[in-house]
Structure 1
Amino acid sequence: MSFASLSPDEATPFRIIFVCTGNICRSPMAEVVLRDIVTRSGLGRLITTSSAGTGDWHVGEQADTRTIAALAKLGYDGSHHRARQFDPAWFADFDLVVVLDRTQERILRNWATSERDLSKVHLLLSFDGDQAAMGDVPDPYYSDDALFDSVLGMIERANTALFKQLAPAIRQGVR
């Protein structure tokens, strides 16, 4: 994906949403991590992050306790997260829809109603050349704390790569 033509401003920041299955494990991690990277870079007013799930099983719930714990171990705060389900009408509200695995990619591509919507959907690992071939960030929900930690590491690396691609275009668009 090319971000070369971006020209965000404080009134209309670049809006990113991360989407996984239930919005309690991977997508909240990705949202919190990228928000931290963006804030530390000084671009917090120009890039916003959020997350959602394709399913409605956990709507209104906090992130999984293991997600919150994995984030906390690395100094992130995921305690304020509340799960929600992605609404296809939201395509208009976001510039980039980042999915955590190919299942969400298929679902969101089916929900898209235009080429513009389709062009917004990207796998998170596709931004990181070292992890792109893996395609999917594994869902740690049915596993142990170690997989939550491993998944968080994958998400941190991929979000760092995403930000390195996005930041120059954002900075260039700021006058």
Structure 2
Amino acid sequence: MFKNILVVCVANICRSPIVDVLLQDALPLKNVSSAGINALVGKPMHENSVKLTAPLGVDCSLHAARQLTAEICRENDVILVMEKGHIDAVMAIDPTVKGKIFLVGKWLADTEIPDPYKQSFEMYEHVFELIKKSTDAWVKKLK
């Protein structure tokens, strides 16, 4: 059904890379990638995000933030975003993808995943837990 999955946040260094690596790990037959609406192009995953994913044994070392483009949107079957406002931001880049954009937290009553950037490590932990629950729900739907 959905072969190519794109995960989007703002800078592509905190939230979307976590979802990206969790989905890649759980769905090895899918093509999962991430991008940012206002990406810090070329930057690695934020150190707090790396700390939280490290115990899971997933490799985050190759991540480099990239800017979302219309071409990237069109290459994917489903686009997962963190916040409701990101839906409009993605559609501003490519209005033709409207029907394939969903919240990462869709299966948790459309929960939005807040941006932990420049906040406490505890906030990163909270966001990680929301992401983990949300991706677990998506894995069940995407298998």
Q: Deviations over 1:126-163 (max 9, x none)?
A: 1x2xx3243x1011102111111221111111111111
Q: Note if 1:149 corresponds to 2:125.
A: yes
Distance 1:125 1:30, change over 3 A: same
Amino acid in the other structure paired with 1:93: E
CA distance in 2, matches of 1:88, 1:23: 16
Question: How high is the TM-score relative to the length of structure 2?
Answer: 0.92
- The answer as to whether partners of 2:6 and 2:76 remain within 8 angstroms in 1 is yes
Largest Rg, 1 or 2: 1
**Distance across 1 between alignment mates of 2:131 and 2:141:** 15
SS of residue paired to 2:8: strand
Q: How many residues align?
A: 143
Whichever residue aligns with residue 97 of structure 1, its letter is I
Q: How big is each residue's C-alpha offset from its partner over 1:44-96, in whole Å with a ceiling of 9 and x where there is no partner?
A: 23x1110010003x100101111111111333322221000100122221000
- The answer on 1:52 being equivalent to 2:35 is yes
Residues 96 and 145 of structure 1: is their aligned pair in 2 closer, same or farther, counting only changes over 3 Å? Answer: same
Letter in 2 for 1:94: N
User: 1:67 and 1:77 mapped to 2: Cα distance?
Assistant: 12
Distance 1:51 1:146 in 2: 24
What corresponds to 1:122 in structure 2?
A: 102
Q: Which moved more, 1:73-82 or 1:63-72?
A: 73-82
Task: Structure 2: give runs of 5+ residues left out of the alignment.
Answer: none
**2:109 matched to which residue of 1?**
132
Deviates more, 1:25-34 or 1:74-83: 74-83
CA RMSD of aligned residues (A): 1.5
Whole-Å separation in 2 of the counterparts to 1:133 and 1:97: 15
Query: Is the CA contact 2:103–2:110 (under 8 Å) kept in the aligned structure 1?
Result: no
Q: How does 1:1-175 map to 2 (within 5 A)?
A: 6=1, 14-38=3-27, 44-45=28-29, 47-56=30-39, 58-114=40-96, 117-126=97-106, 128=107, 131-134=108-111, 136-167=112-143
- Give the TM-score, by structure 1 length: 0.76
Checking the alignment, whether the CA contact within 8 Å between 1:70 and 1:145 is kept in structure 2 is: no
